[in-house]
Amino acid sequence: MINSDHIDEENVSNFSISVKQLAHIVENNSNNKGKFLCQNTSVIQHLFHALETNTDSGILGDSNDLYRRRKAFGSNTNSEGRSPSSNSKGFDRLILEAFKDTTVILLLCCAALSLVIGIKMNGLQEGLFDVLLIFLPIMIVVNFGFTYRFFKAIWVKKKMAKQKKVVWVLRHHQMLQIPVSEVVVGDILFLETGNEVPADGILIHGNSFKLDDGLIDEQLSQHPSLFTRTNLVEGNCQFLVTAVGKNTERCKLTELVASSQHDGMSQIHRSIDEMSSFLEKLWLSLSLLILVVQVFRCFLWKSWCCDNDRNPDPKGVKNTVEEIMNEATKYMRRKRGGTNKVNGLVAMLCILLFSLKDGLSLGIFIILIYASKEIKKAHQTIVHKLPACANVALVTTLCLSKSLDLVVKHKMMADLWIGFEKILNLPADSGGAEDSHVEEVLNALLEGICMNITGGVNDDSLLIWAEKVLGGDIDELLGSCTILRRDNLYPSKGLCGLLIKRNKEGGKFMHVHWKGEPNLVLSMCSHYYDINGTMQTLDDGKREMFYRNIESIISNGVKCFGFAYKKVKTKQEKENYPIDSEENTIAKDGLSLLGIVVLKNPYSPELRQTIEMCRESGIEIKLMVDEDLHTARVMALNSGILRVEEDIQGAIIEAAEFRSSSKEAQISMSHKFKVLANSSPADRLLLVHCLRAKNRELVAATGTCIRDLPYLKGADVGIFIGENCADLAKKDADITVVDSNFGMIPAILILGRYVCTNIEKFIQLQLILNISAFTSSFILLIFNPTSEEQLTPFQLLWVNLVMEVLGALFLAIITSAVKPESLEFHQVMMNCSKTTTTNYGTGAPIITKNMLMNIGVQSMFQVTLLLILSKKGRVIFHLDETLLSTMIFNSYVLCQVFVLIISAIEITKTSIFKGNIRRNPWRKCLFIASVVIVGIIVALQVILIQIMSKIAHWKKLGMKQWSISIGTAALSLPIHYAAKLVSNSFQSFLIMCVRM
């Protein structure tokens, strides 16, 4: 560390370059793939001079020098960007904030009322003991989560402090090994294999080096920009540090992400939490109401505590307190109904268990973990954050960066026919610069392509292909020629002519170029060039051969262009000819055919089909690339991201225009354009934020390199494509597609939609299970407070555990058994119900109308069944109280089994699923496994009854009681279909009325 007391700040000089200027140079160089510094070597010299460093001696490195560098450019102590953490506040403040939660307040009110009742009826000692059974779990629940996160943050901080990294640096002619935190701007660093880049900078020299940065450019330039956290996987290199700490690109983007996120909760979890919170407060409020009523009864109606059937001694009073306590505990647990007679220890364990690990979260966790394992096995895709399995189904906009699939392979953009032969590899196979004749033909072809631009859809493709494959400099070519006349003979067929002069020829020659459909261009030609660049006469036989060749090419559905050329010697040398002079007319005959260019789509049919699937399923796709406008347009049109009819003004914009607009304009523009060209990671993050800001869009973003990771973290779902930067991708991205195949995106989307279906069915099961138990117990308690319990807390605990674990597993497996093959993805993307999944993303309630109908019908049926069995079962079936109680519990469990069966039928009934199980043996096994799970649930129920009949006051059920239980529970099926029939008929009636 530097002692600033010995620094004379008045004598500290400033640097001639700022942090902002350095960042601009590095970003500009990166956007131009390192060519900026290669083409402008003076900029590198300026950097060394401005930063007062060089490759021979490095920086001065004394105390004064290091101090002024840290003062001007910052220190390297904050390279990740801090986000507010749990240990930023005091531990006591975190605990106090927890007690402000409404649910905790309601729980404490229940505990306080129980304390009052306990003291009144049992005395101070017994009352305090009873309320402790409730208050202790509340304290543990409140404190555990915050305590865990508080000490975990401290542990992580200590662990990072122990893992201090070092790096070799050149200072004052000496090689020194210093901690990464002491690196300053201007340092010359030396990295070896396995080292991590500790700051942003520019490569000075490299020896057989390879970076794990995920960049997909074909060739690395001599001076590329390097960014923090990149790993050197091979070789060694030397680079100049230009930004450290909070001024690095990664840190600035990470801070932007942290400032834009209000919480770390996923959209689907937020929706589920809102629903759970509402039900939790509802049931706790009702339990509080019950306790208030019981307090009045306890103080004003003392005879309520003791009737003829109760022992009026203190033990009897204690039993009454237990009843009151358990009335609180059975409603305190989220989504629980229960009884009023249970041991205090059991009540405490119930509260502790279901407060720490809520049943709904447990079931959803099982569904998500099963889905993540399945997608990893089937599609080589790793899910880092489990909620992403469901969040992908809610995505409304997909932002694509340039992946390996989307890279424009220039040689695949077109085929060139010269004479009767196709040139397979330009320029080598055609002679290149070694053959002057071929070179002359190719130069004339390049001139004809670049100068004869009409603004058509295919011009960008021709220009990019000509520049990259023929090797021309378009700007230089445009500056070397003067256009004398244009002639659009047949605009509909693209036939256009051009008369130009080359400035270096001094007006001695004029050059005629024609471009258009090959047949029309050929009709204007009397000669052609062969593959050797020799001019040949075009007789009738050869003309017919050309026509047949053109017909064969066109039959493949590709776009072809013929190019013809004629060199005309002027009668007199003039620098400027009159526009209307006879000599300035464009020749329409006697031309020579240069060649035929056959444009092709450089992208695979699989990629185009994948993008079309996403678009037709309602997902809007936006392309974010660092390419220029022309290349971005070609990428978008050929991949299908931008359709021809959508190629209008404003569909493709420059990132600079987007960046410089106002916030309102940015949000408006983000929903209109399709392609963002010349974009940096900061621009892409800005686009993601703008999309999320309006109408609560759910945005998924893809990335392939280390610079993409921060904005992936800013999206609702971040998908990293590739296996580079694995450790960082695990931290910032939600999903990693290992094999760099964009075609996996539909598989991920479809899996997400099935996961959402499973979650809906599981929520439906849980709500039916708990609403029926709560409602039936509540009704009995209101109308007959002294009646025996209907379902004990232990029984409810059992049902919830079984259904939360095995029920969730059943839904996950049955979906896997009927999920369609990849060939059916297109049909599934169209047929999967998107109306249910979109609700989560738009902020609508998670419970849909269809779910509400199912929950209402099944809950009403189960409540009615439980009440009838409780009040009239003894008379109807001639059973004693204990046997009836066991049968009620058994019927209740079997009702949930039939709800599972109904869910499975609804999942498998869709037409897209038919035959899937029959075609695939593995799916047969999965289907059998799902049936086995139902059998396990029933078997566990049988075993439980047998065991409890030995150790508790339960009774074994005979065949008659089992038949009654199965028969009454099976009524769920016809009731479900009857309700659905009525609902469909009513909807049809309403539609008919509207149309009338």
- 934 & 805 share domain: yes
The amino acid that residue 482 corresponds to is T
Q: How far apart are the first and last CA of the chain?
A: 84
* 3-class secondary structure per residue, 524-589: CEEEEECCCCCEEECCHHHHHHHHHHHHHHHCCCCEEEEEEEEEEECCCCCCCCCCCCHHHCCCCC
Give the residue from 197, 222, 243 where a domain finishes: 243
Q: How far is CA 343 from CA 465, 570, 864, in A?
A: 81, 112, 28
Per-residue confidence band for 823, with pLDDT thresholds at 50, 70 and 90: very low
Q: Which of 170-174, 490-494, 953-957 has the lowest mean pLDDT?
A: 490-494
- Nearest 5°: the CA angle 423, 425, 427 is 90
Domain presence at residue 363: no
Backbone dihedral angles phi then psi of residue 546, each to the nearest 5 degrees? -65, -45
CATH number for the domain spanning 63: value is 2.70.150
What share of the chain in percent tops pLDDT 70? 72
pLDDT at 545: 93
The 8-class DSSP code of residue 203 comes to E
- What is the C-alpha separation between 776 and 870, in angstroms, rounded? 10
d(CA 818, CA 927) in angstroms, rounded, equals 8
- Residues 38 and 101 occupy one common structural domain: no
Please give the pLDDT value at position 88: 47
- Residue-wise pLDDT for 896-914, tens only, equals 999 998 888 887 765 344 4
More confident residue, 106 or 48: 48
- Same domain flag for 675 and 773: no
**Residue at 607: amino acid letter:** L
Q: Can you give the pLDDT at residue 595?
A: 93
96 with 71, same domain: the answer is no
In this structure, what CATH number is given to the domain that contains residue 801? 1.20.1110.10
Whether residue 882 is predicted with pLDDT greater than 50 in this model: the reply is: yes
440 or 268, greater pLDDT: 440
Instruction: Pull the structure tokens for residue 875.
Output: 């008379």
CATH of the domain at 396: 3.40.50.1000
Model confidence over 363-380: pLDDT tens digits? 888 888 888 888 888 778
- Count of structural domains, the chain: 5
pLDDT by residue (tens digit) across 508-564?
888 999 998 999 999 999 999 998 888 999 999 999 999 999 999 888 888 899 999
434: exposed, middle or buried (Cβ count in 10 Å: 0-12, 13-18, 19+): exposed
- Segment 350-369 shows an average pLDDT of 66
Say what angle helices 63-73 and 19-31 make with each other, to 10 degrees.
Answer: 70
Phi, psi of 391 (to 5 degrees): -65, -30
Alpha-carbon span 628 to 625, nearest angstrom = 8
pLDDT band at 176 (very low <50, low <70, confident <90, very high): very high
Question: Do 915 and 953 reside in the same domain of the chain?
Answer: yes
For the cut 60, the answer to whether the pLDDT of residue 889 exceeds it is yes
Q: What is the CATH number of the domain that holds 585?
A: 3.40.1110.10
Count of H helices and E strands in the chain?
36, 23
Per-residue pLDDT at 432 = 40
Residue type, position 847, single letter: I
Residue 414 maps to a domain:
yes
Does 171 have pLDDT greater than 80? yes
DSSP label at 616?
H
For the chain, the maximum distance between any two Cα atoms, rounded to a whole number of angstroms, is 132
> Is 519 within the bounds of a domain?
yes
Which among 556, 499, 496, 537 is positioned nearest to 520, based on CA atoms? 496
* Long-range pairs of 698-701 with CB within 8 A, sequence gap ≥ 24: 698/267, 698/391, 698/394, 698/395, 698/396, 698/397, 698/841, 699/395, 699/396, 699/397, 699/398, 699/399, 700/392, 700/395, 700/397, 700/398, 700/399, 701/398, 701/399, 701/400, 701/401
Q: Are residues 148 and 189 in the same domain?
A: no
Domain assignment present for residue 562? The answer is: yes
Q: Average pLDDT in the 197-221 region?
A: 77
Amino acid 333: pLDDT: 39
* CB-based contact 721:702 (threshold 8 Å): yes
Q: Same domain, yes or no, for 874 and 955?
A: yes
Amino acid at 210: K
Residue 583 pLDDT exceeds 60: no
Q: Is residue 253 part of a domain?
A: no
What is the pLDDT at residue 652?
92
Radius of gyration of the chain from its Cα atoms, rounded to whole angstroms:
38
- Domain assignment present for 430: yes
Give the model's pLDDT for residue 83. 42
Query: How confident is the model over 254-269, as a mean pLDDT?
Result: 69
Same domain, 709 and 724: yes
795, with CB counted inside 10 A (0-12, 13-18, 19+), is: buried
Banded pLDDT at 818 (limits 50, 70, 90): low
Average pLDDT, whole number, for the chain? 77
pLDDT band at 147 (very low <50, low <70, confident <90, very high): low
**% of the chain at pLDDT higher than 90:** 18
pLDDT of amino acid 548: 92
Same domain, 586 and 611: no
Distances (CA, A) of 598 to 219, 292, 461, 839, 904: 27, 85, 11, 47, 53
How far apart are alpha carbons 776 and 791 in whole angstroms? Answer: 9
Confidence of residue 102 (pLDDT cuts 50, 70, 90): low
- Whether residue 318 is predicted with pLDDT greater than 70 in this model: the reply is no
Domain shared by 914 and 928, yes or no: yes
Do residues 98 and 143 make contact, with C-beta atoms less than 8 angstroms apart? yes
Q: Which of 276-285, 720-729, 854-863 has the lowest mean pLDDT?
A: 276-285
Q: Three-state SS across 242-298?
A: EECHHHCHHHHHHHHHHHHCCCCCCHHHHHHHHHHHHHHHHHHHHHHHHHHHHHHHH
> pLDDT tens digits, residue range 746-796?
878 878 888 888 888 888 898 888 888 878 877 877 776 656 667 777 787
pLDDT at 59 over 50: yes
The reply to whether 910 falls in a domain is yes
Find the length of the chain: 996
Least reliable range by pLDDT among 142-151, 190-199, 811-820, 933-942: 142-151
- What is the separation of C-alpha 83 from the centre of its chain, rounded to a whole number of angstroms? 21
In terms of pLDDT, which residue wins out, 26 or 163?
26
pLDDT tens-digit map of 67-88: 999 999 999 886 544 443 444 4
854 and 921 fall within a common domain:
yes
Q: State the average pLDDT over residues 138-167.
A: 65
Identify the helix (H) or strand (E) that includes residue 654: strand 652-654
pLDDT interval class at 580 (50, 70, 90): very low
Residue at 522 is within a domain: yes
The secondary element (H helix, E strand) that includes residue 737 is strand 735-737
Of 798 and 291, the structure prediction assigns the larger pLDDT to: 798
Q: Which residues of 343-371 are buried (b: 16+ CB within 10 A; e: fewer)?
A: ebebbbebbbbbbeebbbebbbbbbbebb
| Final residue in a domain of this structure, among 576, 599, 622 | 599
DSSP state of 196: B
Q: Domain boundary residue among 740, 775, 809?
A: 740
- For the stretch 594-627, pLDDT in tens is 999 999 988 888 888 888 888 888 889 999 998 8
650 pLDDT tier (thresholds 50, 70, 90): confident
Does 855 share its domain with 951? yes
> What range defines the domain where residue 984 resides?
756-995
